[in-house]
Amino acid sequence: MKPISLTRYLIEEQRAGRINADLRLLIEVVARACKSISHSIGKGALGGVLGDAGTGNIQGEAQKKLDVLSNEILLEANEWGGHLAGCASEEMDDPVKIPNVYPKGNFLLLYDPLDGSSNIDVNISVGTIFSVLHCPDGVTDPEVEHYLQKGSTQVCAGYTVYGPSTLLVLTVGNGTHEFTLDRELGSFLMTKRGMKIPEDTKEFAINMSNQRHWEEPMKKYIAELLAGKTGPRGKDFNMRWVASMVADVHRILTRGGVFIYPKDLKDTSKPGKLRLMYEANPMSFIVEQAGGASTTGLQRMLDVQPTALHQRVPVFLGSKNEIEVATRYHLEAAGK
């Protein structure tokens, strides 16, 4: 049977009353922008888009040309559509206001336009991550405070992986589904409905080079996995680390595993590397909708009350039973 298109899937979700027309059109606009990013990435060196932009973002990280380009593509595609009250990005210090010449909608869009961009110059998968929130009632010109909503209030979350094929993985709160870009047709077609993360796993993803900086419960958890069959867990574990969150999370959605970016003591001013609002929250919504779990090590990610737009957070996500063990060790160490 021919796979259904993203457009058909979204219309069916609208008919079932799970999304409204504005959210459907907003997702279509984001998907269209991602096709354009995929096209630019696909050109590689021939498109003159590789390398550094010579600028930095709010996190003090060097921006790649493709970070800047992807951000502009998403911004340009979304500001005139009439579905947004505002949007915010990893690459911009402050949220962007919708110009007055365009109609405004009542959704807020947050995104990381090109996650894993330090991989772009070596031709390894990168991606876009996005999260959609309601703009609070009565607010027409949203400020930062209006974006600071718990992840549990997200109405949609998704990511694309620009890899051997371009994939879009999406949830509107009714399961997590995968769409593959048909490059000839130019449309996303559903290739997996209702993705399910196995509850148990023998695979973990973590940047082991930070091991000496980790807190004790983290060291203990990973030491047990490394001990394999001869250790307390009684089974051998394998390790994978792409250093593109989208690719690591996609592997976990496909065959299980855990992805951990813990807090470490290398720079105590940073409670982790990853960003809550446009990395951890959308990924956590997607993972929970696929039967997995996601925590900060101490609490459910989607229950964290954000305090800043670019806030960092420790991330533990993936196969439920493993996340439960890692989280338990952290809670015990914290005396909870």
Q: Which residue is it, tokens 């990610």? A: 301
- Please report whether residue 211 would count as binding ligand AFP according to CB under 6 A: no
DSSP β-bridge partners for residue 294: 317
- Please report whether residue 282 would count as binding ligand AFP according to CB under 6 A: no
- Please report whether residue 115 would count as binding ligand AFP according to CB under 6 A: yes
- Please report whether residue 274 would count as binding ligand AFP according to CB under 6 A: yes
Size of the site for ligand AFP (CB under 6 A): 13
Pick one of 245, 252, 260, 283: the residue that binds ligand AFP (CB under 6 A): 245
- Please report whether residue 55 would count as binding ligand AFP according to CB under 6 A: no
For residue 208, the minimal CB distance to ligand AFP (Å) is 10
Pick one of 244, 284, 289, 327: the residue that binds ligand AFP (CB under 6 A): 244
Which residue, 106 or 131, has its beta carbon nearer to ligand AFP?
Answer: 131
Task: Indicate the residue type of 291.
Answer: G
- Please report whether residue 116 would count as binding ligand AFP according to CB under 6 A: yes
Pick one of 118, 180, 191, 311: the residue that binds ligand AFP (CB under 6 A): 118
- Please report whether residue 216 would count as binding ligand AFP according to CB under 6 A: no
- Over the Cα atoms of the chain, what is R_g? 19
Pick one of 165, 207, 238, 321: the residue that binds ligand AFP (CB under 6 A): 207
- Please report whether residue 178 would count as binding ligand AFP according to CB under 6 A: no
Pick one of 35, 251, 263, 273: the residue that binds ligand AFP (CB under 6 A): 273
Q: List the x/- string, 295-334, binding to ligand AFP by CB under 6 A.
A: ----------------------------------------
Which residue, 123 or 153, has its beta carbon nearer to ligand AFP?
Answer: 123
Do 191 and 180 form a contact (C-beta atoms < 8 A)?
A: yes
For residue 278, the minimal CB distance to ligand AFP (Å) is 11
- Please report whether residue 61 would count as binding ligand AFP according to CB under 6 A: yes
Residue 210 has which token pair? 């930070």
User: Residues in the site for ligand AFP, rule: CB under 6 A?
Assistant: 61, 115-119, 207, 243-245, 248, 273-274
